[in-house]
Amino acid sequence: MEPFVTLTGIAAPLLRANIDTDLIIPKQFLKTLVRSGLGRNLFQEVRYDGEGRELPDFVLNQPRYRAASILLAGPNFGCGSSREHAPWALKDFGIRAILAPSFADIFFTNCFANGLLPVALPMEAIESLAGVEGPITVDLPAQQVRGGGLAFSFTIEPARKTVLLEGLDEIKRTEANLADIAAYEVRRRVEAPWLEIRTLP
């Protein structure tokens, strides 16, 4: 997984409340287990018309925001069903950080597992950042968002911060504890030998 340290980019404002995972990536695109290619269907139902043509009023179709790497959103972002395809689609489009007043719990967790940084900031801060003309910076080591002369601090659990800074997916996190796992297995064989699986002769 690609580490997340400091990101400077354009922030696209989509300041609606309760954007759910079905709006982020509709159910008909959940058949794939491949993480690439979902970006073109991100926000499908509000990004395109019934013929597949781009809707010019949608924020990500506007020239200024086509290359956005930061999404500014309203409260309760990522609510609804617990589909991991939602962060997959956001990341495939190019979004690496989402700034919102609050997030649905499962979506929030899925972001860290996929290299996205969800940042909780007050709505007033989000609205202020939406008015910034140029790029903004999301600085994970400093836990700060800066842009247009503004600066906002955010909190993050230390373990989740480490996961992003070091680019650790679930496998790498497990591999980091292989020595402890091996020691446990040795100890368990001594303390509870009846748990060992034995094949019959």
The Cα 179–Cα 133 span in angstroms is 50
Tell me the whole-structure pTM to 2 decimals.
0.84
Tokens 């400077």 correspond to: 8
Answer yes or no: is pLDDT of 174 > 90. Answer: no
Phi, psi torsion values for 173, nearest 5 degrees: -65, -40
Answer yes or no: is pLDDT of 91 > 90. Answer: yes
Domain ranges of the chain: 6-167
Nearby residues of 6 by Cβ (< 8 Å), 6 or more positions away: 137, 138, 139, 140, 141
Write down the pLDDT at residue 200: 57
Tell me whether residue 127 is exposed, middle or buried, using C-beta atoms within 10 angstroms of its C-beta: 0 to 12, 13 to 18, 19 or more.
middle
Between these two residues, 1 and 171, which has the higher pLDDT value?
Answer: 1
Write down the pLDDT at residue 194: 76
What is the percentage of the chain residues whose pLDDT exceeds 70? Answer: 93
Answer yes or no: is pLDDT of 60 > 60. Answer: yes
36-40, 100-104, 115-119, 154-158: least confidently modelled range: 36-40
3-12, 79-88, 96-105, 151-160: least confidently modelled range: 79-88
How large is the average pLDDT for residues 82-91?
94
The Cα 200–Cα 192 span in angstroms is 19
Q: Which numeric CATH code is attached to 6-167?
A: 3.20.19.10
> Which string of b and e fits 146-157 if b means at least 16 CB within 10 Å?
bbeeeebebebe
Tell me the two tokens of residue 93.
């489009």
Q: How many residues does the chain have?
A: 201
Answer yes or no: is pLDDT of 169 > 80. Answer: no
Write down the pLDDT at residue 175: 62
Phi, psi torsion values for 40, nearest 5 degrees: -70, -20
Tell me the two tokens of residue 57.
């009023």
Write down the pLDDT at residue 33: 75
How large is the average pLDDT for residues 176-187?
77
User: pLDDT class for 148, splitting at 50, 70, 90?
Assistant: very high
Write down the pLDDT at residue 171: 60
How large is the average pLDDT for residues 95-113?
97
The Cα 155–Cα 21 span in angstroms is 24
CA angle, 76 then 145 then 4, to 5°: 85
Write down the pLDDT at residue 88: 96
